[in-house]
Amino acid sequence: MSVPERPRDGSWVLAVDLGSGGPKVGYVSLAGELAWCWYERADALGGSATQDAEAWWATIKEVAKRGLAESGLPGADVVGVAITGQWASTVPVDETGHPVAECLMWSDTQGGHHSQRRFGGPIAGYRPTVLATWLRRSGGVPNPSGADPVSHMLHLRHDRPEVNARWYLEPVDYLTMRFTGVAAATAMSMTAAWLTDNRNLAVLEYDQRLVRLAGVDPTRLPPLVASGSVVGTVLPEVAAELGISAAAQVVTGAPDLHSAVVACGAVGLYQAHVSLGTSAWVSCPLPAKKTDVVRQMAAVPGIGDGNYVLANNQDNAGRALEWFRAAYAPELSYRELEDMAAGVAPGAGGVVFTPWLTGERSPVDDRLARGGFHNLSLATGRPHLARATLEGVALNLRWLLEAADTFTGRRLDPIRLIGGGAQLDLWCQVLADVCHRTFTRMGDPLFGGLRGAALFLGMATGAVDPRELDGLVPTDRVFSPNSGNREVYDRLFEHFPRLHRGQRRFFAELNGT
């Protein structure tokens, strides 16, 4: 990217957005200007539930150095480092912050049998006492199927005693430690572990009762600090290697959910945004702690008005399109795939795609569900399947949005849109038509996390007033629903949740252990 006019104070932030498909790295001003950005999609389709955290660090260092050289920015003008990205993953590290084993990703369920014994039961999959204890204090519960930090910690403790870790860190906290040498976490970054009492966010301690009931080793939990505080400055040797100022401040890492709130300028109560990335979610700031365990959504420690944000996750969004391209159209670019899908009328000839390729979390918790194309005929061609893939993700998001409406007690509309999938105009319009809501796409949606991380640092250091955010985040285009397509999409959506209900037993029998 070209370098914009330097900000008045000459200050830039090295921002890192560590997604499931690899890191994005960029230099962003404290006013949200993107000076230079980099991203190369890594393989996220191979089925592996682990990644090499040392490789993340090596890539980030190499790209950060390249960014200074290619952008021409003075390293002395880099005043801060901000990290955002995936959460509910676990990096075991030694006392210096170096990994002692691979990162267990948010989809890793190797410890699921431990979680099932501790938490599993007859009420929405949980034991009644577990639900009562956790929901009252934390607002969420470690999942009996695994695929969360408590399951990872139990797996490492009981199944892999040879992994001698000093700390179990979330990825954003791991990278913060590599920059600063300081082990620290926040109620935000540790949300998916559900080990903090979230009734009072001013308490910077783990809930000892929850820690004991979870069966995890409390000595390996990183110290808690305030969300949005400065952890420290960049280690001198890291600053020298990268060519940035050793005085650069490093703020606490923020999950991608929270940086998206900032990147969309949607920090007011009930101001909604949707992220259309590898996975998808719908969120907004909320005034109080609340949980819907059936639909797997909760108000978690957050940012913006009310200090809580809505958390949920649709497991497959952009990843579903990646899968389709790899399986059915590897010779086409995403733009060519979009053009092919655009040649098919809304409704894809009656073909419905269910995007549960790795199961689902919200609005239905079913890790055994699997995706599929439904209602195929001899007239179905590849263009129909391409459009059905886009529409299926949108139908699932409508299902999630309606659950979010119930949770918040209001219809979330209009909605700001961020994420790599939002680069496709057709997909944005399909979302608007299927959900019958207005979506405003943010500028540079692929790199929105980088902008959000930099502005988060600006707020943490006092350089950015949250009231200024709406004027600092650019919007690109508004997608309004086409009423002429409502009937066909309403008809498809009427059957969409039924497809899951009708196949749940089928999924369990084929995919259960």
SS3 of 454-505: the string is: HHHHHHHHCCCCHHHHHHHCCEEEEECCCHHHHHHHHHHHHHHHHHHHHHHH
At residue 1, does pLDDT exceed 50?
A: no
Return the amino acid letter for 375: N
Q: What is the pLDDT of residues 358-376, one digit of tens each?
A: 999 999 989 899 999 999 9
Q: Is the pLDDT of residue 44 over 50?
A: no
Cα 357 from chain centroid (whole Å): 17
CB 81 within 8 A of CB 259: no
Among all chains, which residue has been given the structure tokens 């930090």? 149
Kindly tell me if the per-residue pLDDT of 46 is higher than 60. Answer: no
Q: Is 436 helix (H, G, I), strand (E, B) or coil?
A: coil
Q: pLDDT of 479-511, one tens digit each?
A: 999 999 999 999 999 999 999 999 999 999 999
* 208's tokens: 């000892």
User: Are 422 and 444 contacting, i.e. CB atoms less than 8 angstroms apart?
Assistant: no
Give the phi and the psi of residue 488 in degrees, each rounded to 5. Answer: -65, -40
Q: What is the pLDDT at residue 7?
A: 46
Residue range 41-52: mean pLDDT, rounded? 64
Residue 305 has what pLDDT?
67
Give the Cβ contact number of residue 245 at 10 Å: 17
Q: Give yes or no for a contact between 434 and 389, defined as CB atoms under 8 angstroms apart.
A: no
Q: What is residue 40's predicted lDDT score, i.e. its pLDDT?
A: 84
Nearest CA to 419 out of 400, 393, 398, 399 is that of 393
* Lowest pLDDT segment from 100-104, 201-205, 404-408: 201-205
pLDDT tens digits for 464-473? 998 899 899 9
Amino acid at site 212 = R
pLDDT > 90: percent of the chain:
88
Instruction: Report the distance separating Cα 203 and Cα 353, nearest Å.
Output: 45
The rounded distance, in Å, linking the Cα atoms of 301 and 197 is 10
Contact residues for 63 (Cβ-Cβ < 8 A; gap 6+) = 23, 25, 38
Determine the Cα–Cα distance for residues 152 and 182; give it in Å rounded to an integer.
22
pLDDT value of residue 513: 67
Eight-state DSSP code of residue 41? P
At 92-150, the pLDDT tens digits run 999 999 999 999 998 888 999 999 999 999 987 889 999 999 999 999 999 888 889 99
Q: Is the pLDDT of residue 8 over 60?
A: no
Band (5; pLDDT cuts 50, 70, 90): very low
- Rounded to the nearest 10 degrees, how much is the dihedral formed by the CA atoms of 41, 42, 46, 49? -120
State the Cα–Cα distance between residues 276 and 300, nearest whole angstrom.
20
For residue 158, the SS3 value is helix
pLDDT tens digits along 27-39? 999 999 999 999 9
Using pLDDT thresholds of 50, 70 and 90, give the confidence band for residue 20.
Answer: confident
Tell me the C-alpha distance between 92 and 153, whole Å.
9
pLDDT at res. 43: 53
How far is CA 279 from each of CA 20, 21, 68, 176, 236, rounded to the nearest angstrom?
Answer: 9, 11, 31, 24, 37
**Mean pLDDT of the region 288-312:** 90
3-class SS of residue 253:
coil
Three-state DSSP at 406 gives: helix
Average pLDDT score over the chain? 93
Tokens describing residue 218:
């409390």
Closest CA to 406 of 437, 457, 363, 464: 363
How many residues would you count in the chain? 513
Per residue in 261-282, pLDDT (tens digit) is 999 999 999 999 999 998 999 9
Cβ burial of 487 (10 Å; 0-12, 13-18, 19+) is: exposed
Instruction: State whether the Cα torsion 270-316-155-17 is positive or negative.
Output: negative
Q: How much is the pLDDT for 303?
A: 84
Give the number of other Cβ atoms within 10 Å of residue 163's Cβ: 15
166 vs 40 pLDDT, higher one: 166
Residues 269, 307: contact at Cβ < 8 Å? no
pLDDT of residue 152: 96
Distance, in Å, from the CA atom of 386 to the CA atom of 392, rounded to the nearest integer, reads 10
pLDDT in tens, 216-253: 999 999 999 999 999 999 999 999 999 999 999 999 99
Residue 42 has a pLDDT of 65
pLDDT of amino acid 467: 87
Per-residue pLDDT, 143: 87
- Token reading at 428: 């944005």
